[in-house]
Amino acid sequence: MSNTRIERDSMGELHVPEQALYGAQTQRAVDNFPISHQRMPAQFIRALILAKAAAAKANVELKQLSESQGKAIVDAAQGLLEGDYMQHFPVDIFQTGSGTSSNMNANEVIATLASRLLGEPVNPNDHVNCGQSSNDIIPTTIHVSAALGLHEQLLPALVHLVQVIERKAVEVHPFIKTGRTHLMDAMPVRMSQVLEGWAQQLKANIGHLQDLLPSLQSLAQGGTAVGTGINAHPQFAAGFSRQLSNLTQVQFTPGKNLFALIGSQDTAVAVSGQLKAVAVTLMKIANDLRWMNSGPLAGLGEIELEGLQPGSSIMPGKVNPVIPEATAMVAAQVIGNDTTITVAGQSGNFELNVMLPIIAQNLLSSIELLANSSRLLADKAIASFKVNEPKLKEALSRNPILVTALNPIIGYQKAAEIAKTAYKQGRPVIDVALEHTDLSRSQLEILLDPEKLTAGGV
């Protein structure tokens, strides 16, 4: 074969692209798994490279590698991270369930670069993989990549969304709208109260994610093949976590029980469940925005979202709520990702979970999708929408449910009769109440004042 070289592993020889940094085991994976043509996520590969650098540093400290070998491995890893490293990681997501192919991909690429730097052979297994097994490095990398994704992407994005919502709540506080339960008219609420509800949902989600970080930052590294730590220095787990913490500025610790962290992916399942909860919150906010924006003539028309693009290829002038729609689709995808992770999490057969790559893919996909959509929802929907005050007032003036405020005075049954009459005749409830009660108009104006019927009324 032209433009190839011969590489060897324990199974024999095979052809590898001449310029490829990887070796035989990676090529076997490329040949064996032409399934989705999707590579492992960049965030995962980045975390795997960082883990290899941390392992080399720890092994030098423990005299398992020479200083020159360790330095070459670390320099190779750092060089990869400074460039377009994904071109060197072609292994499909759907591969061996332990992720061994991706681990060996990293070992081979780093070994090639380290050998060039050192001027002598650096072995993928004996040196780059020293003190490790795919069975602990891949679960570790899932935890590390997800923790970094939360710290660097999702949590800052959710905090930003909360801040934008809270600023908007102050801006729209003077506006009062018809509340709705079951999509039917209900008692009035301040627009600010609606937004403050969203903000509190998101704050709760942030708190739950933060509560999961200590478990996510607890690592399987040091357990090697089955959790016993065979072929790893007794102090390797502690040294690895310390070095990785220095490299990432996130505090990682050795797991309390490495058998649990290798044989199961319960933490990933728990994190995914909380990501699903975030998705549910974003879906609620997106749908509220879509409903309030609906119309503008035949819908609610309470707000006007920023117009971002033409909404129809056939209907001129139509503008759609594209950011809330995109956010709702993200939420649907994340909910689906969680189902996949739940099923994969059940595949902890004895001492190893064997669906690690798909857990990594779906977990990191959820984190990235939620982070990106949260920022777009904040900046291109919530921050910029305008309130249609005349539409709010028109709906409030015709809302018979305001009669609820008269329950303590005239009783539920009488109030219901007034509401039904107002509905049937299409009249303001104050006019009907004036005819059916002994209350004066001035009394009714006070009792039925929408502003005073909101808990935050001034």
Catalytic residue list: 182, 312
Number of alpha carbons in the 13 Å side-chain half-sphere of residue 108: 24
Strands 12-17, 4-9: pairing is antiparallel
Q: Which two tokens stand for residue 103?
A: 């681990």
Residues 6+ apart with CB under 8 A from 228: none
CA terminus-to-terminus distance, the chain? 82
Q: Which two tokens stand for residue 432?
A: 């009907």
162 within 8 A of 204, measured Cβ to Cβ = no
Residue-wise burial string across 177-213, b where 16 or more C-beta atoms lie within 10 A, e elsewhere: bbbbeeeebebbbbbbbbbbbbbebbeebbeebeebb
- 12, β-bridge pairs: 9
Residue-wise burial string across 216-239, b where 16 or more C-beta atoms lie within 10 A, e elsewhere: bbbbbbbbbbbbebeebbeebbbb
Q: Give alpha helix (H) positions in 173-304.
A: 191-216, 236-248, 258-263, 266-293
The answer to whether the peptide bond before residue 296 is cis (omega within 30 degrees of 0) is yes
Q: Which two tokens stand for residue 82?
A: 């400074």
DSSP 404: G
Closest by Cα among 362, 332, 331, 330 to 344? 362
Looking up tokens 């043509």, which residue turns up?
37
